[in-house]
Amino acid sequence: MTTAVDTAPAPAAPSPAPAGGGRPRRRLLRGEGSGAPLLVLPTVVLLGIVIVYPVVRGVWMSFQKDPGLDKATGMFVQGGTAGFSNYTHWLLQQCAVASGGTTPCPSGNLGAEFWVAVGVTVFFTVASVSIELVLGMWFAMIMHRSFKGRGLLRASVLVPWAIPTAVTAKLWFFIFDYRGVANRLLGTHLLWMGDAWPARFAVVIADVWKTTPFIALLLLAGLQVIPDEVYEAAKMDGASAWQRFTRITLPLVRPALVVAVLFRTLDVLRIFDLPWILTGGGGGSGHATTTLSILVVQQIRQGFSSAAALSTITFLLIFAVAFVFVKFLGANVAGTPEEGR
């Protein structure tokens, strides 16, 4: 392919530069970055196909009417533009009626479940992330402190992370069975999946079990970059353990903390598999654990355009939260070299 001489295989041994002869005929990519567009192009094209195109199509769909039988005339209609009616269906619970106007959605209609789903999703997010954060910080500090058995610790926290969420959900479904081990250990006789709040807490518990290890590992990596000398100096100055934690550990681990919270928040806001499999999508009287993502999937079977509107709303919500994090909390998710280097 090229006429270059093979001088490279032993990079550690500095060999003298060859005198000209072995230069390839191809233009040398001396100027850094001149080849970048070519390297990046496949990614841009592929992301365009798998993300941008579906999103654009989804947004377009959300402004369309579903083709189908018009209830008023009994005629097949070809769809057409719907304006914002698919959005008002969710945000204001307005359902279309035969006469052409709108009416408040009756209970039982998925539209009426929108704000409930928002509440459930926000509850899952706040509960899971805050518990995971406190527990994860504690785990990370123990892992940081213990020198023996670090391998065992790392292995055991990776196990919940490695188990597929679908299996995790089934496992906790079994644990939370009426005759299962949760009721036995707690001495309770709860129908975990039958009541709203037990079902919700079951989801939170399973989620906390699975993802606390991930947070602990992120925070551990953050703890490991704090030099010991800082703690030594603080000890010399007579700082108590609590002061060392709040004045040194927390501020210095903050970048890792913010990133962990951001990742987990965005993750729980789009949660689907765990509540869907663990509680059968409903829980309690039917919608106790219905998150926004679950509501979208339920809506798909009843009409694409409404589902597209709801998934667009979900997407915008998550995007807004991410924006707030990056903008106001200064989450340096990109790990840009300008900072800290």
Residues between 71 and 130 with contacts to another protein, criterion CB under 8 A: none
User: In this chain, which of 71, 270, 290, 320 binds another protein, going by CB under 8 A?
Assistant: 270
Nearest distance in Å: CB 275, another protein: 12
194 binds another protein (CB under 8 A): no
User: Which tokens go with 177?
Assistant: 């069975």
Nearest distance in Å: CB 187, another protein: 12
327 binds another protein (CB under 8 A): no
- Reduced to 3 states (helix: H, G, I; strand: E, B; else coil), residue 226 is coil
Nearest distance in Å: CB 100, another protein: 25
Residues between 144 and 163 with contacts to another protein, criterion CB under 8 A: 145-146, 149, 151-163
User: In this chain, which of 69, 92, 97, 167 binds another protein, going by CB under 8 A?
Assistant: 167
61 binds another protein (CB under 8 A): yes
Nearest distance in Å: CB 146, another protein: 5
- One symbol per residue from 219 to 248: x for binding another protein (CB under 8 A), - otherwise; what is it? -xxx--x-----------------------
Q: Which residues of 49-63 are buried (b: 16+ CB within 10 A; e: fewer)?
A: eeeeeeeeebeebbb
Residues with Cβ < 8 Å from 188, sequence gap 6 or more?
Answer: 182
Closest by CA to 206, choosing from 138, 131, 263, 143, is 131
Nearest distance in Å: CB 209, another protein: 6
Contact window for another protein (CB under 8 A) among 80-88, 108-116, 206-214, 229-237: 206-214
* CB-based contact 89:310 (threshold 8 Å): no
Distance between CA atoms of 12 and 8, rounded to whole angstroms? 9
If one counts every other C-beta atom within 10 angstroms of the C-beta of residue 311, the result is: 23
Contact window for another protein (CB under 8 A) among 23-31, 88-96, 98-106, 109-117: 23-31
Residues with Cβ < 8 Å from 199, sequence gap 6 or more?
Answer: 192, 193, 279, 283, 284, 288, 289
* CB-based contact 117:295 (threshold 8 Å): yes
Contact window for another protein (CB under 8 A) among 87-95, 101-109, 125-133, 315-323: 315-323
Number of residues that bind another protein (CB under 8 A): 119
Task: Tell me the C-alpha to C-alpha distance, in Å, between residue 70 and each of 73, 81, 244.
Answer: 6, 15, 68
314 binds another protein (CB under 8 A): yes
Residues with Cβ < 8 Å from 238, sequence gap 6 or more?
Answer: none
43 binds another protein (CB under 8 A): yes
User: In this chain, which of 118, 202, 204, 307 binds another protein, going by CB under 8 A?
Assistant: 307
Distance between CA atoms of 176 and 181, rounded to whole angstroms? 7
Contact window for another protein (CB under 8 A) among 124-132, 194-202, 231-239, 264-272: 264-272
Residue nearer to another protein on the CB measure, 198 or 276: 276
Residue nearer to another protein on the CB measure, 130 or 302: 302
Amino acid at 320: A
- The number of residues in the chain equals 341
